[in-house]
Amino acid sequence: MNKYIIHGGRPLMGEVTISGAKNAAVAIIPAALLVDGVCRIENIPQISDVTLLFSILEELGANVRVLNRHTVEIDSRHIHTTRTSYELSRKLRASYYLIGALLGRFGRAEVAMPGGCNFGGVRPIDQHVKGFSALGAGVTTEGGYINAIVESGRLTGANIYLDVVSVGATMNIMMAAALAQGDTVIENCAKEPHIVDLANFLNSMGADIRGAGTDTIKIRGVERLSGGSYAIIPDQIEAGTYMAAAAAVGGDVLIENVIPKHLDCITAMLREIGADITEYDDAIRVESAYRLHRANVKTMPYPGFPTDMQPQITVCLATAVGTSLVTEGVYDNRFRYTAELGRMGANIQVEGKTAIIDGVQTLHGCEVRACDLRAGAAMVIAAMCAEGMTLIEDAHFIERGYEDIVGKLTALGAHIRRIETYETPSVSEDAG
């Protein structure tokens, strides 16, 4: 496990290039199991969740060939088991996508209960199970594994209505249905950009999926996916995180390799609180020279303000002028990190699903921990805003979803260093 040491008070200046979308990659890589051939995937982010997925696929029998830093070829023609490693699967939430992929292609899957970020409560997969069951699979849980099997060997198309809008369920059912016999209609779907990206990937391999990005997705099952080449979209949340950092810390940052349309809700919110934002064809410039001001924020499914940006916007508001309200409309118990911000001097009270934030003049460096991926990113932003030195424990959570965050922030002028746990930092370390 790693730690970050950050000395705050330096504005961010320069350019940063956004990596491939984490939330797309962790679904597209398992989806490669559906392909009876070789698929080439480009713009893959170098993050720990991706590395874990490659290891899982290799244990299943896939050949994962790294062509360069961001490009791989995956050959799934020689899969020899449908049971995943318990130790590997339990380390990431996205392991549940292996169920839909394996079930769709082989008619069975044995996948260890997923892990990943813990928001303080259970993130159920009941909608996933509902979809698999409607397609003809029997699903049980035993010995820490989710077991899914279709006795006939192949799933059958069905009409499926999701009781709640679920990104994970939408993508998982889409994968399972791609090779099912007949037509599948999924209603009340999530609309996030990475759902469209997954559909585009599958279609490029030979699937027949229509309607991704709307609330109804129609899938005509095909006999086989034969392979091809595909490039993953830029990461909406990584881009939003650097936008929030530039707004909160201050400076002038050009964020390159983005799809501005995917960032509309983030852009609108940052403009509302006082950041100056200029949009280009594939880049966004964020300038911030003054103290931000209050706003009310509520997270919603796309195209609303994303739940994965909730901690980052909270940091922006922690030093803004006035009292702000941040309401979490997607997950329960996603405010655990506010206690860490409180240690830095933030004035935040949580009442149910709403955080009440009285902006303070400044934050102060201290020892804090990353509670999860996005909370960890928020701690990094807070540390760059703060006076003095901040030590962030459990930085491995951050590296689940941000490629080379230390290198990228250093290039923007931040004073940040990654250390191994055996190193002992000095509180009086020179800020340089």
For the chain (length 432 residues), average pLDDT per consecutive 10?
94 98 98 97 97 97 97 97 92 92 98 67 79 97 93 96 96 98 98 98 98 98 97 98 98 98 98 98 97 97 97 98 97 93 98 97 98 97 98 96 98 96 47 38
Half-sphere exposure of 189 (CA within 13 A, CB side): 28
In whole angstroms, how large is the CA radius of gyration of the chain? 22
Q: For the sheet with 216-220, list strands across it.
A: 159-161, 183-187, 216-220, 208-210
- Same CATH topology for 2-19+234-420 and 22-219: the answer is yes
| Residue 3 · residue 425 · CB < 8 Å | yes
What pLDDT score does 113 carry?
85
Does domain 2-19+234-420 fall under CATH 3.65.10.10? My reply is: yes
371 is catalytic: no
Q: What are phi and psi of 12, to 5 degrees?
A: -100, 125
Separation in Å, CA 425 to CA 33, 45, 343, 389: 44, 29, 19, 10
Minimal CA–CA distance to 371: which of 407, 320, 341, 336? Answer: 336
**What six digits make up the tokens of 42?**
């480009």
Q: What is the pLDDT of residue 66?
A: 96
- Token pair 């934050």 is found at 363
Q: Which sequence spans correspond to the domains of the chain? A: 2-19+234-420, 22-219
Task: Give me the pLDDT at residue 114, please.
Answer: 80
Give the integer Cα–Cα distance in Å for 272 and 289. 15
Q: Is 327 exposed, middle or buried (0-12, 13-18, 19+ CB in 10 A)?
A: middle
- What pLDDT shows up at residue 432? 41
Active-site residue (options: 39, 117, 189, 265): 117
Cα–Cα distances (Å) from 204 to 43, 73, 88, 227, 276, in that order, read: 16, 15, 29, 8, 38
Asked if residues 397 and 415 have their Cβ atoms less than 8 Å apart, the reply is no
Q: What is the CATH number of domain 22-219?
A: 3.65.10.10
Nearest-5° Cα angle at 112, 108 to 114: 120
pLDDT of residue 1: 74
- 8 Å CB contact between 3 and 418: yes
SS3 254: strand
Look-up of token digits 């609180």? 273
Tokens standing for residue 363: 């934050």
User: What integer pLDDT is reported at residue 182 of this predicted model?
Assistant: 98
